[in-house]
Amino acid sequence: MYYCYLETPIGDLLLAGDEDALSLVSFPKGSMRRDPEDDWIYNEKPFAVARQQLGEYFAGARKDFDLPLRLNGTEFQLSVLDALQQIPYGETTSYSDIAERIGRPKAVRAVGAANGRNPIPIIVPCHRVIGSHGDLTGFGGGLDTKEALLRLEAENSQFPHVI
């Protein structure tokens, strides 16, 4: 596995994957923070396009990502990650809405758990999922990071939603 870091306004992101696909984006803090494993190799080259697209995102110039991703998980988890990728830039939705979209309306807590295990945040936009009453709920990068991402998108969206 290769890895590198990307300096961003929310701190240095850890990117990891292989020559073919990105498999991890880790925040610099929070419950889902990861460090490179001992056998990982530092190499920026496999992440050139991801670094460029993330840079454009943080500059407010990119609304969608076009990157090869390697997502792992159960069929249910993958369906949640797919649903997350359908949330438009600058918009938010609730865990119950995601549960409805995937045909599992009673699985709200399981949707929350799958959302919380998202290995590629920002690109798979789990930060766009909020509580049913509009509250910012738990986030693997910390609530201040979630708020910063939502604010960035609101400021650069054609139809900003104030948070």
Question: Using one digit for the tens of pLDDT, what is the confidence trace for 5-20?
Answer: 999 999 999 999 999 9
Q: Give the C-alpha separation, 117 to 120, whole Å.
A: 9
The residue among 116, 114, 109 whose CA lies nearest residue 139 is 116
Question: Which one from 111, 126, 130, 152 is the annotated catalytic residue?
Answer: 126
pTM, rounded to two decimals: 0.92
Q: Which residues contact 103 (CB under 8 A, 6 or more apart)?
A: none
State the residue for tokens 């766009």.
Answer: 128
Q: Which CATH architecture has domain 2-58?
A: 2-Layer Sandwich (3.30)
Q: How far is CA 34 from CA 15, 95, 122, 131, 160, in A?
A: 10, 25, 15, 25, 32
User: Could you read off the pLDDT of 53-62 as tens digits, one per residue?
Assistant: 999 999 999 9
The fold of 75-156 is Arc Repressor Mutant, subunit A (1.10.10)
Q: In angstroms, rounded to a whole number, what is the distance separating the alpha carbons of residues 147 and 114?
A: 20
Domain boundaries, the chain: 2-58, 75-156
Q: Are 39 and 67 in contact (CB under 8 A)?
A: no
pLDDT at position 159:
56
Average pLDDT over residues 113-126: 95
Does residue 126 have an active-site annotation?
yes
* Cβ(5)–Cβ(16) below 8 Å: no
The overall average pLDDT reported for the chain is: 93
User: Where do the DSSP E strands lie in the chain?
Assistant: 2-8, 11-17, 22-26, 41-42, 93-94, 129-130
Find where tokens 């080259």 sit.
45
Q: How far apart are CA 120 and CA 71, in angstroms?
A: 8
